[in-house]
Amino acid sequence: MVEPRIAVAVVTMGNRPAEVDALLMSVAKQDLAPERIVIVGNGCPLPDFAERLGLPGEVTLIETQENLGCPGGRNVALRRLAEFGDVDVVVELDDDGLLVDADVLRGVRTLYARDPRLGIVGFRIADETGKTQRRHVPRIGAKDPLRGGPVTGFLGGGHALSLAMLAEVGDWPAEFFFAHEETDLAWRAVDAGWTVLYAPELLLQHPRTSPARHAVYYRVNARNRVWLTRRSLPLPLIPVHLGVWVLLTLVRVRSWGALRAWFGGFAEGWRESGGERRPMRWRTVWRLTRLGRPPVI
């Protein structure tokens, strides 16, 4: 059993200094030290975390000229790790998350060592009280956040990615900025024969939030959903998927302003390109369906 080499990547906009310090200290307390830590300042300067916090392994700080969004910032870290060429798996963590347990990185290494076709591992996300929001359980109708296994998606706040998988399927869709980038990557991974695993024993503590806290949430959410389907679904499934989500949005969203923003983003998704179209195979549609989430929901 070959044990993969682990790296940690964190992207920050510099607006959560206390939380980033706490997260990095929780990484430093892991009983398996990462080979590398890459921290990306997404349009912001970075302090010398390595010297100030005594971080283990090789620490690389990267500052971008502008905010590239969640997927764009993560791609910066991934490309630098690919250049180094001395790690096999990267653990990506939200800058306001916290590794409560000291054996998370060791658990990641064990999972990847067991399965050479393991592409993505999603962590369990829980707030300070230990509660996992329903939207953070990667199954339709899932009530038990402690039930793990193969799934069709994962949470961006805490997860691990195989660099071999990324070399095959490509990086994050930087055009998305935020929203649905995890689904895009997961679908590409499944289509290429990689496994997406939900591992609830790997815990990331994260403040309880709503995605609608972002002012542009409704517009970007709708735009990216159109891009997601245009990039990834067979042509007959595109109107089905989008039709389902138009109906769900009309039922769920009560604000006229939010609905206007959503439909504005929906139109934008058709006007503008969201990247290269690479439709999944029909056997991937069937595999996603057997895993509990057909790609029209």
Please name the residue that has the structure tokens 């369990």.
Answer: 124
Domain interval for residue 87: 6-209
pLDDT of residue 65: 96
**259 assigned to some structural domain:** yes
CATH number at residue 125: 3.90.550.10
Long-range contacts: 132-141, Cβ < 8 Å, 24+? 133/208, 138/198, 139/198, 139/292, 139/293, 140/292, 140/293, 140/297
User: Are 150 and 43 members of one domain?
Assistant: yes
Same domain, 173 and 270: no
232 and 185 within one domain: no
Q: What is the structure's pLDDT at 54?
A: 85
Domain end point (choices 209, 226, 259):
209
pLDDT at residue number 161: 98
Q: What is d(CA 262, CA 217) in angstroms, rounded to the nearest whole number?
A: 8
Instruction: Kindly report, residue by residue over 96-117, the tens digit of the pLDDT.
Output: 999 999 999 999 999 999 999 9
Q: Are residues 182 and 251 in the same domain?
A: no
Full-model pTM: 0.94
Per-residue pLDDT at 208: 84
Which of 193, 209, 225 lies at the terminal end of a domain, its last residue?
209
Whole-angstrom Cα Rg for the chain: 19
The residue among 152, 181, 209 that closes a domain is: 209
For the beta sheet containing 118-126, the strands, ordered from the edge strand earlier in sequence to the opposite edge, are 58-63, 36-41, 6-12, 89-94, 158-162, 118-126, 195-205, 149-150
Chain centroid to CA 28: 22
Question: What pLDDT is recorded for position 215?
Answer: 55
Residues 216 and 128 in one domain: no
Q: Please report whether residue 296 resides in a domain.
A: no
Q: Are residues 152 and 19 in the same domain?
A: yes
Low-confidence ranges of the chain (pLDDT < 70): 1, 142, 209-215
Longest CA span, the chain: 56
Give the model's pLDDT for residue 239.
98
Q: Are residues 132 and 197 in the same domain?
A: yes
Is residue 177 domain-shared with residue 243, that is, in the same domain?
A: no
Q: Is residue 44 part of a domain?
A: yes
For residues 133 and 95, membership in a common domain is answered with: yes
CB 43 within 8 A of CB 68: yes
Same domain, 275 and 151: no
pLDDT at 212: 55
Question: How deeply is 48 buried, as exposed, middle or buried, from its count of CB atoms within 10 A (0-12, 13-18, 19+)?
Answer: exposed
Strand, coil or helix: 211: helix
Q: Looking at the domain assignment, is residue 295 inside a domain? A: no
Region of 54 please: left (phi>0), alpha (psi -120 to 50) or beta: left
Total structural domains in the chain?
A: 2
Q: Do 62 and 91 belong together in one domain?
A: yes
Is there a single domain that holds both residue 82 and residue 221?
no
Residue 182 domain-assigned (yes or no):
yes
The answer to whether the CB of 8 falls within 8 A of the CB of 27 is yes
In this structure, the strands spanning 89-94 and 158-162 are antiparallel
Residue 114's pLDDT is 96
Q: Cβ distance 35 to 9 under 8 Å?
A: no
